[in-house]
Every structure is written in structure tokens, then in C-alpha cells.
Amino acid sequence: MHGRPRKAPKPEDEAASSAKAQKLRALQTQFFSFHHNKIYTKEAVELSAKLLEINPESYTAWNYRKLAVEHYLNLPDCNPDSIKSVLDDELRVVENALRQNFKSYGAWHHRKWVLSKGHSSIDNELRLLDKFQKADSRNFHAWNYRRFVAESMKRSEQDELKYTEDMIYANFSNYSAWHNRSVLLSALFDKKAEGFLLKEKVLPEEYEFIHQAIFTDPDDQSGWFYHLWLLDQTVTTDSPLLASSWPGHGSDVLLVGDRCYNGSAFSPFSALHSDSGSFPIVLYFNQPVRGVNSSTVTVECGFNKNEDLLWKPLSASNSQTARVWVAHLKVPSSDLHSTVEVSVGHTKGIISTRGFEYSHPSMLSFKVHVQPMERDSSQVSVAESISLREENFKVYGKQSEESIIDSFDQLIIKNGRETTASNWRFEALAKEIECFRELLSLVDCKIGKLTLARLLKAYDAMSYPFANKLVHSEEVLELYSDLMKLDRTHYQFYKDERSIVLLQKVTSSKGSLLQHCFQYKDSVSSAICGPICLRLNNLSLSRMGAFEKLLWVEMLDLSHNELQSIEGLEAMQLLSCLSLRNNKLRSLTALEPLRKLKLLRILDISYNQIGDHSIDTTRYVCSSPLSHSVGSELNRDETVTSDVALINNWEAFYIFKDFNLNQLDIVGNTIADEKFKSVLVKIMPKLKQLDGKLLD
């Protein structure tokens, strides 16, 4: 354990171990007899103490002693002196057990239980803790118990903060002391205690403090974790913010009935095809929130009552807390022109997971134009083949390009609430960036490069609304590329982070995003409303991000990447056509986010790795019927199916049963044999085309 080589046991050691095991078995046999017969005599209680001295991890013995204590305390002749005597005996037993194993969960828990009775002096506890922390200053059991003792003694956070400082100076590698320091400072910030009301006065001093540890030993990870906590405190706003929405403020939405709009009066960014005559309103917050409902979000329009709107969270865990919330607004075909006003947070109730209220009320206003159309017999059927291949796209002409650029400001990436960061945050980040560039000029430190990448990302994120570009994106991408080469153990983590930075760069400006926007070759006859397809193919993406800037996308090409997960894609509620061709999706459960995309009609998941692996590892990452997520919304009394083929393919059934696909490509996956394709046809009776072939 912990790098110690195994040694063959000596004969005398084996004999001693055997004798100890025999003694332990004899004690356990006698102890269990006392326990089962509820015998709490002095002899029985002393025997449990002997057992715990040999094996402090015997939870049953600790629970027995609790029952014995309660038995004595409830005796008629029990008095304050006898109560104190009984509880002091318990503290001695715990201390003896901790001498055998001072990391015993049961022993520390029992000591808390004894002191919570309120009859024992707590003054000795800090002295006892000093002994244990001298033996192992990083023992998190002792630090956890210290927090309990400090609270019981009403010892101030400031005093405890000074103690962590002393422990850190004694040993910079004391991770537990750094952690306790973050816990204490968080409590002081929340209380707005004197001297801790303003983070801008405290955090710069903490940065200076942590620099001493990091520059002393750059390879020790304890200080780096604390620095990551400081960075989070610097850049994270307490109150949640509305990062983006669709439709965007000031935009015109053209809702086309039965066929796509091909006029020029409206931007292709805002034209939406809808068979149901409704469209989604999407709210994207900068952190998970709860409480989004018709009381906290008011939608005013002439054709729909606010109370009729049902706001739903879009999260992988199906919880009532999420970054993304959606409601579907029904538009009557008779109401051809309407103005919709969305008021967010003017009534209290939207709360972050950290317990902070949404305190920046927002107002969004957009116009809705309905264009009902009857399908012309000359139009191509809905089942026409849509293929997101290179030859099917064309670059926009100059006139169309200018039109797109002119209307780009109506896209969601510019509609988030732009908050000005305090000067101290910029100054703190700039100073840290300079500091770690200096460190990396002296030593080649992997975690130093990772920290510098995080600092540069944070600086760009705060300055982006004003600079209108990500100044350090190239440097961050280079840092992650270096880390992928230097630290192969964490290769996938660095690659995922690099993918997110790359997507942020692509979506950061009109020019960079326009390079990835293409026109489908036959937009008039296409079943997709709007000619724009966002092509993010061949970028070596392993993870998706920047969703708050992609809410407007209807056609998305993610082919020829390295995606193993598409978590977060559920935010893109307008998606009608999606290509995930030639990626690394390993299972059907990895497709779960797509279940929330009600407008999705065309899906290409061909040439992935679905079926290659006998064990679905994503089942423990993505939700599934076994984790009570997929299928949890089903009525328990509902008879799902009696078809054996469907029962044997429950993953496919739960993933695809709610899809309303017209076209699906699944060829090139191990699972995609003829038997499985017949199962898909049963699950999705509306499917018109499978792997390029029309279905009967």
C-alpha cells in the first residue's frame, strides 16, 4: 500500500497473526451472544471494549456500546455523577481504539455521539486532536472532528483560520489544512463577517499566501487544489445570470406551417419549421437553477395564457435543477403577427444550487410571424434523403453573407446579459497569469501549465463581452496540446478541455462562426426550414460545449470527430437534422440527450462503436433504466410491450420510443444487423428511411 513493497511474512509473524485471529474469533462469539441477548452487565461491556481495542472497525460493537450507555442512563438510580462516569468510560474506550487505528470511522463517530450527550467536558478535545495531528497532520478524520469540536466550543472561524495557517507553515503539503481553510473562508464570506465582507480584500492576500507553497514545491498538489478553489471564488458570481435565450431579444421569428420558408425578408437564423404550430422558448442560465415556472417567468402575448406554459428543466439527471429550461408556446394559425414579451426573475423564486436568488431581472421581446402553407404536390416528400456530405453544401454568396452578418446580432450569442466584472477580478487574474508564466519559465510543471490554461480561459470569459474576441484562445489550445503529450495518463481530460476551448473560439465572433456556416444545396425542397447548417466536422472534438451560443442551430454536422458523449446537446431544442457520423459513441444510452429534442427528424449515427463493447460503460455516466432515469417518466401501470425482440433490446426501446424521426442512419455499428433494424422499425413506426433505403 502507498508504494511499500510486499514482504513475505516470517514464520513467527504468521504464528502471531494466527493467535490474534483465534482470540478475535473467541471474543466475537462471546460478544455476539451478549449482544443478541441484550446483556449489558459490566463484564459484557468490558468484553466489547477488548474487542474494539483489537478491531476498532467493528461497527456492531460500537452500536452495542451505544445501547449499553442508553441502558445505564435510563436506570432509576442514575445520577449526574454516574452519567459522567459512564460517558467518560466511553471516551477512554474511543481513545484506546484510536491508538490502534486513528483513521477508524466508527471510533470518531462514537466520540461525536458521546460528546453530543452534553455531559462531558469538551476542553480536552483540542489537546487530544493535537496529539493525533502531530502523528498525521493530514488525517481528514481528525480535521473533520476538529470542525465538530470548534462548532461545539463556539470557537470563531478566525481562530480556526489562524490554526490552519500555522499548520500550513509547518507543512505546505498539508492538503487537509488547505481544505479546512477553504471551508472556513466560505463560511466567513457567506456570513459577511467583519473583514470578510469584500472578497477583493481577502482573495489577493490568499493568492500571495498560496504562492509561497507553490513556488517552494511546484510538484506538490495540495497548494494547487487550493489555488483552483481561489480561482473559482474569483470568477464565479454568487447570483445566477441569464446567459442566453431563444428567441433572442429584438428578433423576428418566422413560424412556417407545412413547408419551409424560402423568402428573403427574414434571416435564416430565425425561420423555424413546425408541424405542431408551436415553438420552444429556451432560457440558458450560467449555473443550474430551480424555481423556473409561470410565477417567476411571465410570457405575455395575445394568443396564449402565461399559466398554460409548462417550464421543464433539461438535465441529464432529470432533476428539477438545470441550466437550461424550456417551454413550448402554441401559436394559432389565425394570428399571423404577434409580439411576445418574456419577463424573467421580476418575481423571486429562481434560486441557484448554492442557494442564491436570481437578482438580475431580464426582459426579452420578439416578434412572431406565422406563415401557414399548404404543401404543393410538386414538393419533395418529407422522407427525402438529407445527407450532410461535403458535396451537398455550398458557401454563401456575398449578398447572402452580408445578410447573415447583418442579422447575426439577433443571434443568441449576443443576447445574454452582459455584466461588467469588477476591476479587482481582472487585476487578480492578470497578476496570476504573470506569476505562472514566470513559474513556467523556471520549471517545466504540468499542473502549472494546466493552471495557466484555466487562468487564461477565465480572463477571456470575463473580458469577452467587451473585447468581442477570445484573446488567449490560441495560447490555451497550445497549452492543452502540450499537456496531452506530456501527461498521457490524463490525456482524455486535456482533450475534452481543449475541445471546449476550440468551440468557444469558433462561436466567439461573427467571422469565426460564419466559416462553419454553409447552405444546403437544395434549401427550397429541403425538409429542413432554414438553409444554414453549422458544420463542426473534422475538428477532433471529444466533448461538446458553448451550447449557450448554439441555441439557434437547426442543422448540425458533428461528423468525423471523437465524441464519446453528447451530454449538453439537449439544450439545442431547434435541432431538426443531426449528423454524428464517424465518432466514438459506444452505446445506445450515450444518445439519451437526444430524447429531449422534440423537433429532431433526421439523425445519422453511422460508423460509431455502438455494439463493439459487451459492457455499456456509459450506463454509469449517462442515466439508464437501472439508474431510474431513462423510462422513469413512464406510468408504472403501463404495459410497455410483450414483444420478445423489444424486451431483449430495452435500451433501444427506451432511447428511440419517443423519437419522431423520418430518417435514421445506423450502418457501420456492430449492433446494426438486420434483426436490430427490424426492432427499430417496430419502435419507430413513423420512420420513412433507414440507412438510405425507403421503408414500406
Q: 207 in a domain, yes or no?
A: no
Q: Please give the average per-residue pLDDT across 546-563, as a whole number.
A: 92
Q: Please give the average per-residue pLDDT across 495-509, as a whole number.
A: 93
Q: 401 in a domain, yes or no?
A: no
- Count the neighbouring beta carbons within 10 Å of the beta carbon of residue 268: 23
Query: What 8-state DSSP symbol labels residue 319?
Result: -
Q: Per mean pLDDT, which of 122-131, 186-195, 407-416 is the most reliable?
A: 186-195
Between 75-84, 98-107, 299-308, 615-624, the lowest mean confidence (pLDDT) is in 615-624
Amino acid 446: pLDDT: 92
Q: Do 175 and 261 reside in the same domain of the chain?
A: no
Quickly tell me which residue has 410571424 as its cell.
Answer: 369
Assess whether pLDDT exceeds 90 at residue 578: yes
Q: pLDDT band for position 415 (50/70/90)? A: very low
Residue among 300, 320, 504, 543 at smallest CA distance from 413: 504
Burial class (CB in 10 A: 0-12, 13-18, 19+), 220: middle
Amino acid identity of residue 342, one-letter, is V
Amino acid 157: pLDDT: 92
* Contact assessment for residue 293 and residue 311, using Cβ atoms and an 8 Å cutoff: yes
Q: pLDDT band for position 616 (50/70/90)? A: low
Burial class (CB in 10 A: 0-12, 13-18, 19+), 7: exposed
74, three cell numbers? 435510563
Q: Please give the average per-residue pLDDT across 238-243, as a whole number.
A: 88
Amino acid 630: pLDDT: 46
Q: Do 283 and 268 reside in the same domain of the chain?
A: yes
Say how many CA atoms lie within 13 Å of 286 toward its Cβ. Answer: 19
* Contact assessment for residue 131 and residue 98, using Cβ atoms and an 8 Å cutoff: no
Assess whether pLDDT exceeds 80 at residue 31: yes
Between 394-398, 422-426, 645-649, 664-668, the lowest mean confidence (pLDDT) is in 394-398
Amino acid 528: pLDDT: 40
Amino acid 416: pLDDT: 41
Amino acid 479: pLDDT: 96
Residue among 515, 25, 447 at smallest CA distance from 214: 447
Q: 21 in a domain, yes or no?
A: no
Structural domain ending residue among the three candidates 486, 507, 528: 507
Quickly tell me which residue has 452519567 as its cell.
Answer: 83
Question: How far is 35 from 402, CA to CA, in rounded Å?
Answer: 84
CATH of the domain at 285: 2.60.40
Amino acid 197: pLDDT: 80
Q: 324 in a domain, yes or no?
A: yes
Structural domain ending residue among the three candidates 338, 353, 373: 373
Q: What are phi and psi of 561, to 5 degrees?
A: -120, -160
Between 284-293, 416-425, 553-562, the lowest mean confidence (pLDDT) is in 416-425
Q: Which helix (H) or strand (E) holds 448?
A: helix 446-467
Structural domain ending residue among the three candidates 348, 373, 398: 373
* Contact assessment for residue 56 and residue 100, using Cβ atoms and an 8 Å cutoff: yes
Q: How do residues 441-486 score in pLDDT, each as one tens digit?
A: 998 889 999 999 999 999 998 887 655 678 899 999 999 999 999 9
Amino acid 412: pLDDT: 46
Amino acid 204: pLDDT: 92
Question: How far is 392 from 520, CA to CA, in rounded Å?
Answer: 6
Q: pLDDT band for position 327 (50/70/90)? A: very high
Amino acid 595: pLDDT: 92
Q: Do 526 and 483 reside in the same domain of the chain?
A: no
Q: Do 328 and 429 reside in the same domain of the chain?
A: no
Instruction: Give SS3 for 530.
Output: coil
Question: How far is 549 from 498, CA to CA, in rounded Å?
Answer: 18
Burial class (CB in 10 A: 0-12, 13-18, 19+), 243: buried
Q: Do 50 and 76 reside in the same domain of the chain?
A: yes
Q: Do 487 and 519 reside in the same domain of the chain?
A: no
Q: How do residues 645-691 score in pLDDT, each as one tens digit?
A: 666 778 888 889 889 999 999 999 999 999 999 999 999 998 999 99
Q: What are phi and psi of 75, to 5 degrees?
A: -70, 145
Pairing state of beta strands 602-604 and 577-579? parallel
Q: Do 132 and 273 reside in the same domain of the chain?
A: no
Contacts of 129 (CB under 8 A, 6+ apart): 142, 145, 146, 149
Q: Do 536 and 624 reside in the same domain of the chain?
A: yes
Total tally of structural domains belonging to the chain = 4
Q: Please give the average per-residue pLDDT across 187-197, as a whole number.
A: 86
Pairing state of beta strands 362-371 and 252-256? parallel
Question: How far is 583 from 525, CA to CA, in rounded Å?
Answer: 29
Size (the chain), residues = 696
Amino acid 250: pLDDT: 84
Q: pLDDT band for position 83 (50/70/90)? A: confident
Q: Is the peptide bond before 240 cis (omega within 30 degrees of 0)?
A: no
Q: 553 in a domain, yes or no?
A: yes
164, three cell numbers? 490552519
Amino acid 540: pLDDT: 96
* Contact assessment for residue 482 and residue 516, using Cβ atoms and an 8 Å cutoff: no
Q: Do 671 and 522 reside in the same domain of the chain?
A: yes
Q: 216 in a domain, yes or no?
A: no
Question: How far is 510 from 469, CA to CA, in rounded Å?
Answer: 10
Q: Please give the average per-residue pLDDT across 403-422, as a whole number.
A: 49
Angle between helices 59-73 and 11-36 (to 10 degrees): 40
Print the domain residue range for 544: 513-628+638-694
Assess whether pLDDT exceeds 60 at residue 413: no
How high is the mean pLDDT of the chain? 82
Q: Please give the average per-residue pLDDT across 356-360, as a whole number.
A: 89
Q: 47 in a domain, yes or no?
A: yes
Assess whether pLDDT exceeds 50 at residue 55: yes
- Cα angle 607, 611, 612; round to 5: 80
Amino acid 274: pLDDT: 60
Between 33-47, 393-407, 649-663, the lowest mean confidence (pLDDT) is in 393-407
Q: 50 in a domain, yes or no?
A: yes
CATH of the domain at 668: 3.80.10.10
Q: Do 187 and 333 reside in the same domain of the chain?
A: no
CA-to-CA separations, 299 to 307, 409, 573, 592, in angstroms, rounded: 9, 23, 18, 30
- Count the neighbouring beta carbons within 10 Å of the beta carbon of residue 299: 21
Q: Please give the average per-residue pLDDT across 334-356, as a whole number.
A: 87
Pairing state of beta strands 337-344 and 297-300? antiparallel
Q: What is the pTM of this model?
A: 0.83
CATH of the domain at 185: 1.25.40.120
Q: Please give the average per-residue pLDDT across 337-366, as a whole number.
A: 89
Amino acid 126: pLDDT: 85
Assess whether pLDDT exceeds 80 at residue 50: yes
* Contact assessment for residue 381 and residue 264, using Cβ atoms and an 8 Å cutoff: no
Assess whether pLDDT exceeds 50 at residue 14: yes
Q: Do 551 and 594 reside in the same domain of the chain?
A: yes
Q: Do 145 and 166 reside in the same domain of the chain?
A: yes
* Contact assessment for residue 34 and residue 47, using Cβ atoms and an 8 Å cutoff: yes
